[in-house]
């Protein structure tokens, strides 16, 4: 008796199998990333792949995983091509010339929110500042570049992976503004252990390969600190200004100075300093308590001759609303902490108008 003739696989079957292959370091598959350029089914299966990466090990890793995913379909011919992303012209420190940085199509202004250290509420300020700017009638985008601890999606109440249109990521939308974050592309709870070149690639992907559309302002939440990673990030895109977040105590103010120096090194204008956790108001007796001291941010701004954008009180509502995925500016726009964020947003706009 003759055995059954094995039917060749369909293109759709091949595509579904390839969706099980994740791009290294991401939870997205290589199909949705646009890496699979063509699938040909004949006497053998031919799959054409194209990867843009600075990591020379990634093409070989992807090719191995594709071969494993298609092993059940018999002989497979994998055609892999790879290229590095285009290099950007950056001056060496001390040359004095401003770096040549790409603008983001459709985005009028880009501001970065930074801090010299973690734990000062930088992301909370970035989220509520973006929401407050949106409430003032501006078209706002929020880019979560804090890849070491991306918390913006949680505070924005956003989940699920972004879709892709015309080979670009579609930002998530909530509360009237657009948002993109590394957390939307990574496995939940996965640690980020990346070197500088991988960080630059991620920020380029987010900033330059996202369908932001028409925006008045894109707010970028930078990682905390002032190392090479942060310098690389602020050198990637043409920033119109930087906002430094600090708390009143001396140790935070010391590192805030480093954040300002970081922006100055790459010729980014300082829009001002925000003093977060400025004071605490007892919900029972309404008495003010300067838990971390008070006025240090304003004094530091005066000393450095940069604008002081405002004080954000230490209110339980800010934390509760952030944990619920509903920024306090949205949840309670008439509350004292919300009004503080709104004043900061107005101060930022005034500084941008002076540009």
**CA-to-CA distance for 133 and 219, rounded, in angstroms?**
10
Within 10 angstroms of residue 86's Cβ, the number of other Cβ atoms is 8
pLDDT higher than 80, residue 99 = no
- Whether the model clears a pTM of 0.75, i.e. scores above it, the answer is no
**Residues whose CB is less than 8 angstroms from the CB of residue 221 and which lie 6 or more positions away in sequence, other chains included:** 113, 122, 123, 126, 127, 142, 143, 144, 145, 146, 152
More confident residue, 238 or 170: 170
What does the alpha-carbon distance between residue 328 and residue 319 come to, in Å, rounded to a whole number? 8
Distance between CA atoms of 89 and 100, rounded to whole angstroms?
6
Query: Tell me: the pLDDT tens digits for 29-55?
Result: 888 777 888 998 887 889 999 887 767
**pLDDT score of 27 more than 70:** no
Q: What are 155-169's pLDDT values in tens digits?
A: 898 888 888 888 888
What confidence tier does 202 reach under pLDDT thresholds 50, 70, 90?
low
Domains along the chain with CATH numbers? 11-83 (3.30.300.130), 107-353 (3.40.50.300)
Compute the radius of gyration of the chain from its Cα atoms. 24
Read off φ and ψ for residue 270, nearest 5 degrees.
-85, 115
Size of the chain in residues: 355
> Pick from 180, 109, 175, 125: which is nearest to 150 by CA?
180
């Amino acid at each position: 008796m003759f055995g059954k003739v094995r039917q060749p696989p369909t293109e759709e079957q091949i595509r579904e199998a390839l969706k099980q292959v994740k791009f290294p370091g991401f939870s997205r598959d290589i199909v949705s990333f646009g890496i699979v350029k063509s699938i040909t089914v004949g006497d053998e299966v031919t799959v054409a792949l194209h990867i843009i990466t600075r990591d020379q090990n990634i093409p070989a890793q992807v090719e191995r995983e594709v071969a494993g995913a298609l092993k059940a379909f018999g002989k497979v011919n994998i055609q892999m091509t790879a290229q590095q992303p285009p290099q950007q012209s950056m001056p060496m420190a001390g040359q004095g010339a401003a770096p040549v940085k790409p603008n983001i199509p459709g985005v009028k202004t880009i501001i970065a929110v930074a801090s010299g250290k973690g734990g000062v509420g930088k992301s909370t300020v970035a989220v509520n500042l973006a929401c407050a700017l949106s409430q003032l009638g501006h078209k706002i985008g929020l880019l979560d570049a804090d890849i070491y601890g991306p918390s913006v999606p949680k505070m924005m109440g956003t989940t699920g992976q972004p879709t892709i249109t015309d080979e670009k990521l579609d930002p998530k939308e909530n509360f009237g503004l657009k948002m993109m974050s590394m957390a939307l592309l990574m496995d939940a709870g996965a640690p980020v252990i990346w070197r500088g070149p991988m960080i630059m690639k991620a920020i380029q992907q987010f900033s330059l390969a996202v369908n932001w559309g028409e925006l008045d302002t894109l707010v970028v939440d930078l990682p905390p600190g002032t190392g090479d990673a942060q310098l690389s990030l602020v050198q990637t895109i043409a920033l119109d200004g930087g906002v430094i977040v600090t708390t009143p105590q001396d140790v935070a103010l010391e590192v805030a100075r480093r954040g300002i120096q970081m922006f100055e090194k790459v010729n980014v204008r300082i829009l001002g300093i925000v003093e977060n956790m400025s004071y605490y108001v007892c919900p029972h007796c309404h008495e003010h308590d300067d838990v971390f001291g008070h006025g240090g941010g304003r004094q530091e701004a005066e000393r450095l001759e940069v604008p002081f954008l405002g004080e954000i009180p230490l209110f339980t509502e800010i934390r509760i609303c952030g944990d619920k995925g509903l920024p306090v500016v949205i949840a309670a726009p008439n509350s004292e902490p919300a009004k503080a964020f709104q004043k900061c947003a107005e101060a930022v706009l005034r500084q941008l108008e002076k540009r």
